[in-house]
Amino acid sequence: MSTAQRTIPKAISSHFDSASLGKQRDFLPLKGTDHVEFYVGNARQAAHFYRTAFGMSLVAYAGPETGQRDRASYVVQQGKIRFVLTTPLSSDHPIAEHIHRHGDAVRVVALWVDDARSAWQETTSRGAVSAGEPNVLTDEHGEVVVSSIHTYGDTIHTFVEREKYGGPFMPGYRSINSDPIARPTGLIHIDHMVGNVGWHEMDKWVNFYTHVMGFSLYQHFDDKDISTEYSALMSKVMTNANGFVKFPINEPAVGKRRSQVEEYLDYFPGPGVQHIAMATNDILHTVNKLHEQGVEFLRVPHTYYTELQDRVGKIDEPIEELEELGILVDRDDEGYMLQIFTRPVEDRPTLFFEIIQRHGSRSFGKGNFKALFEALEREQQARGNL
Ligand code: FE2
């Protein structure tokens, strides 16, 4: 057994043994996700899409007009979900290189902390590669401290300390007070964010989140859980100590044909953020609105719904309405959850979104994997990539 494999049972036991967890010092306390920054080819238009399709509001802007000469950034928000859409203003900018390689893509998964200096110190002393030393940003609204480390692929984690800040987002940004074109859809917070990593890299990144970030293994799915006739993947869900931040990590597994994770790795190319799950308290309302506003979702066949009642038992939502919208349901010991996945939100088959509503269940929809993967394979087939 490799060293990497030996560490996993340890992580599971420490997560479930609350007595031992209580005694361990959480060296990286996280208050949640602060924001997600995308590097995009045209930030003004990307912001329009997230406002009119997903219902976010434009809340802040930075660019040449605010003294940021080399790039423009639009901050859009709904509930606690905050996206920053950034584009470079010249072709030789490092951000342009990222866009050339990955298309519009997530660059920064920013985490909200009390102490960005300590977060950087604790993680870099455990082996994280720095992507930015602690830096104090100030303006008339106060100060924000940021620091960054590298994670999988070209993705980075930025630690954001904003205790002493009262402005719209960060120093350098100007506030936008009302957004006449935002069409809210009831999305409230990020439930989890999934990364795809390369072949045989799962244990490397599980170890990174365990040892460098102090996360532990929360759930684990192997190719027996996640496979169809053609393709397979493995997934491990990592969580921080208070459970506010969950990062499932996917690795492709051997199947007869190219799996969705392989397709992602080929087109992104390389490891990166695969999907962002956003929570709602009323999935029927949210998905109805998103659908009306042009968001496209994956569809599963009618037979999924004829078998649903037997599989999940009684649920509050009418099954006909779920079928009409294509919403999936799964149940575990603690309750049930509803979820639906968008088609990729750009032309490369890379990033997509999940909409999720939890009724007690803390699962990730294991009972839906097969139906979902078959739906994904139909899409891959249509792209000529299966
Ligand atoms: Fe998910």
Which uninterrupted H or E stretch holds 286? helix 283-292
Same-domain check for residues 140 and 193: no
How far is it, in rounded angstroms, from Cα 262 to Cα 237?
A: 19
Residue 153 lies in a domain: yes
**In angstroms, what is the span from residue 356 Cα to ligand 1's centroid?**
8
Res 331 pLDDT > 90: yes
**Pairing between strand 156-161 and 105-113?**
parallel
- 191 and 171 assigned to the same domain: no
pLDDT of residue 7: 35
pLDDT over 60 (residue 13): no
Q: How far apart are the CA of 192 and the centre of ligand 1, in A? A: 7
Q: What pLDDT was estimated at residue 18?
A: 43
- pLDDT of residue 258 exceeding 90: no
Identify whether residues 156 and 239 lie together within a single domain.
no
The pLDDT score that the predictor gives to residue 386 is 86
150 Cα: distance to centroid of ligand 1 (angstroms): 22
CA of 114 to the centre of ligand 1 (A): 27
Number of domains making up the chain: 2
Residue-averaged pLDDT of the chain: 92
Domain boundary among 140, 175, 210: 175
My answer on whether 170 and 210 are in the same domain is no
Cβ neighbours of residue 121 closer than 8 Å, sequence gap 6 or more: none
Q: What range defines the domain where residue 309 resides?
A: 187-383
Domain end marker among 135, 155, 175: 175
Tell me the C-alpha distance between 101 and 270, whole Å.
Answer: 10
Contact 289, 280 (CB under 8 A): no
pLDDT of residue 23: 54
State the distance from the centre of ligand 1 to the C-alpha of 172, rounded, in angstroms. 33
Residue 366 scores a pLDDT above 90:
no
Q: What's the CA gap between 18 and 279, in Å, rounded? A: 27
On whether both 30 and 153 belong to a single domain, the answer is yes
**Mean pLDDT across 78-106:** 98
User: What would the pLDDT profile of 242-252 be if each residue is shown by its tens digit?
Assistant: 999 999 999 99
Residue 10 confidence class, pLDDT cut points 50, 70, 90: very low
Distance (Å) from CA 245 to ligand 1 centroid: 13
Token pair of 360 as six digits: 């007690």
**160/111 same-domain check:** yes
Strands, sheet with 71-78, edge to edge from the N-terminal-most edge strand:
130-139, 142-150, 156-161, 105-113, 32-39, 81-88, 71-78, 57-62, 174-175
Rounded to the nearest angstrom, the distance between the alpha carbon of 100 and the centre of ligand 1 is 27
Asked, for residue 299, whether it belongs to a domain, the answer is yes
Q: Give percent above pLDDT 90 in the chain.
A: 81
What CATH number should be reported for the domain holding residue 224? 3.10.180.10
pTM of the model: 0.92
CA of 354 to the centre of ligand 1 (A): 6
- Among 281, 278, 367, 369, smallest CA distance to 330 is for 367
- Angle between helix axes 260-267 and 369-382 (nearest 10 degrees) is 50
Helix (H, G, I), strand (E, B) or coil at 49: helix
Question: Among 82-86, 127-131, 147-151, 299-303, whose mean pLDDT is lowest?
Answer: 299-303
**Per-residue buried b or exposed e for 105-144, using 16+ beta carbons within 10 Å of the residue's own CB:** bbbbbbbbbebbbbbbebbbeeebeebeebeeeebebebb
Q: Give the percent of the chain with pLDDT over 70.
A: 94
DSSP 265-285: HHHTTSSEEEEEEEEES-HHH
Listed residues 121, 152, 175: the one ending a domain: 175
Across residues 19-34, what is the average pLDDT?
A: 80
Q: For residue 240, with 0-12 CB atoms within 10 Å meaning exposed, 13-18 middle and 19 or more buried, which class applies?
A: buried
One domain for residues 163 and 116: yes
144-157 mean pLDDT? 98
Tell me, in angstroms, the distance from the centre of ligand 1 to residue 307's CA: 22
State residue 66's pLDDT score: 95
Write out the DSSP string of 80-139. Answer: TEEEEEEEESSTTSHHHHHHHHHSSEEEEEEEEES-HHHHHHHHHTTTPPEEEEEEEEEE
**How far away, in angstroms, is 277 Cα from ligand 1 center?**
6
253 pLDDT tier (thresholds 50, 70, 90): confident
Instruction: Say if residue 88 is in the same domain as residue 196.
Output: no
